[in-house]
Amino acid sequence: MDKREKFGGVPDPRMANLPLARWIQTILTMSPAPLRPDNTSPLDDVGKAASSYHLPYFQQLPDFALALLKNDDQATVYYAPLIYHLIGCAACHQAYLEIYDAMSAALAVDSQQQVADNGHHTLALTPARMLVYLCQLLITQAQTVLRVARHEHVDNDAWARALLQQSLTMSSHIMQGTLRQRALQNLVDVALLATGESQDEQNPATRTYSSLVGAGSSPRAGKTRRRAEMLERSAGEPVIELQSGTLQGSVTQRGDILELHLRNLDPPLRGHRLQITVPLGSLIEPVRWSGGNPRAIRSQSPVSDQGHLTMQLGKTDLRLTTAEDRNLLEAMFKKLDVRPVDM
Amino acid sequence: MPFSAHDLRYHLEQHYASLNAYLQQRAQRYLGSLAFDAVEVDQVVGHVIEQLTHLHILGGGDSAPETALDRLTNAQFYAFLNRCAKNKAIDRLRKHRAPTSTLAELERPGGEEEEAQPMESVVETLWGTVPFATPEETALEAASQQTLRQLLKHCIKALSAAPHQLEAVLQELEDLDARDMVQEIRRLCGLSDSAAPLAHASQHRDHAHKKLRHCLQQSSTNLAVVVALRLSKYETVSTGADVIPVDISTLAQDKLSIQEVQTGLKHLTSEGLLNWHGEATLRLLPSQCKRLARFYEEGE
């Protein structure tokens, strides 16, 4: 109840609209998104936050808060849809309160005040869990951006790609393989949406390989594979290992050149040239792909009678001997499709 | 190394470590008795990083739309981050029902930002006096403020394409004692004052609510209302000419971009109130002006 009314003063004229206000709230209130339990760290539950946040409204909050703080008389007119959204969405309303308060703190300081140097910090000393978390957030954000684009018929592909590129780059600084794997868990699915690459139902891949993220990663970068089938490779040569079911393959480097080695390919592929697709290859650009298109890299020679093939994928300035470079390339080969060219 | 919002947007790889270190330090400072609980520190740091990602600050580059945060100075941006961390830390302390730090404890000398930020709001309430402080308060503003109420009226009127749904909502509003609004909408839609009882009223109501929800939160509807308001003012400057030429760039001011004006004009054309197909100059008829004035009946 209004204080003035309670103490016998002038009643708040808005109170006459209380029933209408309640009705508006009833029709706008969304079923609340499941909340993250208090004892769960946001670092363990990235997806939950994404499901309760509405990008088109959320992104207006800082400007809305600023307009209110500056007493802009057009604020309610301009942000009317956001205001109606805040009535019904508890998560966005909570975010509005936080952002309004933080913006008011921001405006209260001397804008030209010098910021104290907080010291020099490097990613190598940043807790890996914070890097994993950031990568997951960026991938989830890219997914949200794409979902909104579909819903509103706008093109957000470049934005989503920028976020995915960031997640790839940041993940290259995570040296523990299992953590890097966690960081990039949904990367392929979201990247396929972002690059406009859907599963080719007319011409499905005969084989799909994935890099074994973390299988041979640093701090023991350059781990040597010593399997019998790899003995022809010189000892100590760094590799990115690939797997497709029971089949194995690898990517190695000779100078600037990245080479793909596939072994024991299925009999129907033998004697045929192959087309290799690296879907994430178009996401970052450190590799100059053979033929120029990472979706259609053709082998110069056919698969041998024993099912073996070695072919050039492209050239790069990255080095498999450098941990970050290797991690970046390994993430890029999280999906590699193989199709016969001439069958 | 100090960083800016611009650094985090364009050079995240170089500055994420500093952001993380700063937030860790802030979190520990404000978490009081929980300062050495790694999960709690992660809660605070993780929350701020999540907000920054959702606000496109982290790694969005050129593609992500800018917000007011991008225009803050370094000092302001640090104050923003500091307050976000502080609020989340206090939230965590409250959830744990830990004894809240004394004012003196929270105020112990530290970052220069605190000197400019009075702490009383933190100890008493997180939010202080904030407009639209609760969803209930926001709904009351929507029902009371002229501009917000106009949008509501517009969206209810838009139900006239489905007369049963409109009638169901009008009957609901009558029950709520919002008779003025009901009478006005009936008059504008050319409906009689009393209507026969409606069969399947609840079903019609549910459909109507869904449409209202969509209409009220749709920016093109709102932009149409704002543009209609601006166009309706041309009636008063008209000197009796048959056609009033309106350069659409003149409508793009006070926060409205030219794209938003175009969205609004498209919406008004789709509702049959204008005849605009992307021209730089809109040819406005006096009769259209009158209809636009009814579309946005300011001051009623």
Q: pLDDT (tens digit, 9 = 90+) per residue, B234-276? A: 765 556 667 888 998 888 876 778 888 898 898 888 878 888 9
pLDDT of B147: 82
pLDDT of A283: 87
Which candidate, A230, A184, A220, places its Cα nearest to that of A335? A184
Cβ of A166 and B21 within 8 Å? no
Which candidate, B22, B14, B93, B38, places its Cα nearest to that of A129? B38
A198 touches chain B (CB under 8 A): no
Give the containing element (helix H, strand E) for A297. strand A297-298
CA of B241, closest CA in chain A: separation in Å?
Answer: 30
With b for 16 or more beta-carbon neighbours within 10 A and e for fewer, the B240-259 pattern comes to eeeebebebeebbeeebeee
Distance CA B248, CA B262 (A): 8
Q: Which chain A residues are closer than 8 Å to B43 by Cβ?
A: 41-42
SS (HEC) of B93-142: HHHCCCCCCCHHHHCCCCCCCHHHCCCHHHHHCCCCCCCCCCHHHHHHHH
Name residue A215's beta-bridge partners: none
DSSP state of A268: G
- Taking CA–CA distances from A63, the nearest residue in chain B reads B68
B227 touches chain A (CB under 8 A): no
The answer to whether residues A331 and A318 touch, using CB atoms and an 8 Å cutoff, is: no
CA of A153, closest CA in chain B: separation in Å?
Answer: 14
Phi, psi values for residue A219, rounded to 5° = -70, -5
pLDDT of A134: 97
Distance CA A49, CA B129 (A): 27
Neighbour tally for B133: CB within 10 Å? 16
DSSP state of A252: E
Distance CA A248, CA A254 (A): 20
Using CB atoms and an 8 Å cut-off, which of residues 33-52 of chain A contact chain B? 38-39, 41-43, 49
Residue with the bigger pLDDT between B11 and A215: it is B11
Cβ of B18 and A118 within 8 Å? yes
A8 touches chain B (CB under 8 A): no
Average pLDDT, rounded, for chain A: 85
Residue B284 reports pLDDT greater than 70? yes
A235 touches chain B (CB under 8 A): no
Cβ of A41 and B43 within 8 Å? yes
B289-293, Cβ contacts within 8 angstroms, sequence gap of 24 or more: B289/B231, B289/B232, B289/B234, B289/B235, B289/B238, B289/B244, B290/B235, B292/B228, B292/B231, B292/B232, B292/B235, B292/B268, B293/B232, B293/B235
Average pLDDT score over residue span B73-85: 96
Neighbour tally for A210: CB within 10 Å? 14
- Taking CA–CA distances from B149, the nearest residue in chain A reads A80
By Cβ distance, the residue of A59, A95, A130 closest to B56 is A59
pLDDT tens for A161-208 read 999 999 999 999 999 999 999 999 989 999 988 776 665 656 777 889
Q: Which chain A residues are closer than 8 Å to B77 by Cβ?
A: 106
Q: Which chain A residues are closer than 8 Å to B82 by Cβ?
A: 105
Q: Which chain B residues are closer than 8 Å to A111 by Cβ?
A: 72-73, 75-76
Inter-chain contacts counted by CB atoms under 8 A, chains A and B:
279
pLDDT of A314: 95
Distance CA B221, CA B202 (A): 26
> Residue holding tokens 């609020």?
B87
Average pLDDT, rounded, for chain B: 83
Residue with the bigger pLDDT between A104 and B223: it is A104
Residue A229 reports pLDDT greater than 60? no
Residue B114 reports pLDDT greater than 60? no
Helix pair B219-232, B286-295: axis angle to 10 deg: 130
Cβ of B83 and A106 within 8 Å? yes
Cβ of B75 and A126 within 8 Å? no
Cβ of B20 and A130 within 8 Å? yes
Residue with the bigger pLDDT between A74 and A225: it is A74
Cβ of B136 and A25 within 8 Å? yes
pLDDT of B125: 44
Average pLDDT score over residue span B93-104: 65
A246 touches chain B (CB under 8 A): no
- Out of A130-139, A262-271, B194-203, least confident range: B194-203
Cβ of A29 and B135 within 8 Å? yes
- Taking CA–CA distances from B169, the nearest residue in chain A reads A23
Q: Which chain B residues are closer than 8 Å to A115 by Cβ?
A: 2, 74-75, 78
DSSP state of A305: T
Cβ of A78 and B256 within 8 Å? yes
Give the containing element (helix H, strand E) for B23. helix B12-30
The answer to whether residues A225 and A233 touch, using CB atoms and an 8 Å cutoff, is: yes
Cα dihedral B137, B139, B144, B146 sign: positive
Structure token digits, residue B61: 């580059």
Give the containing element (helix H, strand E) for A309. strand A309-316
Distance CA A257, CA A252 (A): 8
A268 touches chain B (CB under 8 A): no
Q: Which chain B residues are closer than 8 Å to A149 by Cβ?
A: none
Which candidate, B154, B132, B99, places its Cα nearest to that of B295? B154
Q: Which chain B residues are closer than 8 Å to A42 by Cβ?
A: 42-43, 46-47, 50
Distance CA A145, CA A139 (A): 10
Average pLDDT score over residue span B122-138: 75
Q: What percent of chain B has pLDDT over 90?
A: 44
Q: Cα–Cα–Cα angle for A87, A88, A92, nearest 5°? A: 85
Residue A241 reports pLDDT greater than 80? yes
Q: Which chain B residues are closer than 8 Å to A41 by Cβ?
A: 39, 42-43, 46
* A115 CA to centre of own chain: 31
> Residue holding tokens 């699915």?
A189
A68 touches chain B (CB under 8 A): yes
Cβ of B42 and A43 within 8 Å? yes
Distance CA B202, CA B197 (A): 12
Residue B9 reports pLDDT greater than 80? yes
Length of chain A: 343
Q: Which chain B residues are closer than 8 Å to A120 by Cβ?
A: 1, 18
Average pLDDT score over residue span A231-237: 56
Before B118, cis peptide (omega within 30)?
no
Distance CA A309, CA B146 (A): 73
Residue of A78, A109, A137 best to disrupt the B interface, most CBs of B under 10 A: A109
pLDDT of A312: 96
Distance CA B215, CA B154 (A): 9
pLDDT of A101: 96
The answer to whether residues A297 and A313 touch, using CB atoms and an 8 Å cutoff, is: yes
Structure token digits, residue B179: 């008779």
pLDDT of A225: 45
Distance linking the first and last C-alpha atoms of chain B:
57
B265 touches chain A (CB under 8 A): no
With b for 16 or more beta-carbon neighbours within 10 A and e for fewer, the B211-220 pattern comes to bbbebbbbbb
A55 touches chain B (CB under 8 A): yes
Residue A290 reports pLDDT greater than 70? yes
Q: Cα–Cα–Cα angle for A16, A18, A21, nearest 5°? A: 130
The answer to whether residues A65 and B67 touch, using CB atoms and an 8 Å cutoff, is: no
A155 touches chain B (CB under 8 A): no
Q: Which chain B residues are closer than 8 Å to A119 by Cβ?
A: 1, 21
| A231 confidence band (pLDDT: 50, 70, 90) | very low
- Out of A13-17, A251-255, B133-137, least confident range: A13-17
